[in-house]
Amino acid sequence: MIKKEAVVKCSTGLHARPATLLVKKASSFKSDIYLEYKDKKANIKSLIGVLSLGVTKDSPVTVIASGDDETLATEEIAKLIESIEE
């Protein structure tokens, strides 16, 4: 299992469009990938799960992956979270 911190820079936080981008990216990996925010954890491959976290702008989140491609998954997802800006 690998963990990586990221900061949400999107002005709307992780709402509909950014969350959809994350789900699509996460679904391309074999590993189980989760997003942790304020003691809540959700599967990044689930749009409802990501939206239910209510992540806002400038919030620190933790990407957690476990599986065959966990290193690549955490790097790519964290990079995507920090690159999405609206």
Which one of the listed residues 15, 49, 59, 67 is annotated catalytic?
Answer: 15
Write the single-letter amino acid at 35: L
Residue 31 a catalytic site member: no
DSSP letter (8 states) at residue 30? S
34-43 burial: b if 16+ Cβ within 10 Å, else e: bbbbeeeebe
DSSP state of 69: T
What single-letter amino acid sits at 17? R
Q: Active-site residue numbers?
A: 15
